[in-house]
Amino acid sequence: MAALPDHEAWRPEAIGGRLVVLRRHRAENLRAFVRWYSDPEVAHLTRYHQAPLSNDEVQRFFYSRIMGADFLAMAIHLRDTDRLVGTCAFSQLDGDNGSTLYHITIGEPDAWGRGYGTEATDLMLAHAFKKLALHRVGLTVFEFNARAIRAYEKSGFVVEGRAREAVFRNGRFWDEIHMSILLDEWEERQKS
């Protein structure tokens, strides 16, 4: 595998789809992050700790990761209205082994279940495999997040393992599920 992709390929200005447009984050998106990550339901689905992030924690996360050089973080905007509804990102890019980890949060509850996350994921996978020439995209998801698991499966991710009883929610322990999609699997899906 080659070294890391060039800066231009790694950080495109925008990636367009039918329902959503992915754009590089801007500083003003911090307001939405504060709202999303202080929401107990978003914390429940995305964090190991049950408590929402404090404003200071959200700011540190936003500026170090979302706006930082080590993440490819894209804002998810609705194509028709330009409304910001979520964020998606690649982290831990490993150019030697052609892999990365994928993350997505649809922060606006009224945007859940409308296909925006699935299309954003599909756009990011196309970017990973066509533009960045990666071999594997992986992710983790909590077992109780059935909606996210279905969406990932719809995009072609398969379960490859689990960390048993890794998170405590709703009075019990749940597994953290590890999923991935490989280049040849993604290419096969593009033919159909």
Q: What is the pLDDT of residues 79-100, one digit of tens each?
A: 999 999 999 999 998 889 999 9
Q: Within 13 Å, how many C-alpha atoms sit on residue 37's CB side?
A: 24
Give the class (CATH, top level) of 7-191: alpha beta
Low-confidence ranges of the chain (pLDDT < 50): 1-4
CB 29 within 8 A of CB 88: no
Per 3-state DSSP, the chain is made up of helix, strand and coil in percentages (nearest 5) of 35, 35, 30
Q: Give the pTM.
A: 0.91
Whole-number pLDDT of residue 72: 92
| Domain boundaries along the sequence of the chain | 7-191
Whole-number pLDDT of residue 6: 54
CB atoms within 10 A of CB 84: 22
Phi, psi of 112 (to 5 degrees): -70, 145
Tell me which residue of 162, 163, 159 sits closest to 180, measured CA to CA: 159
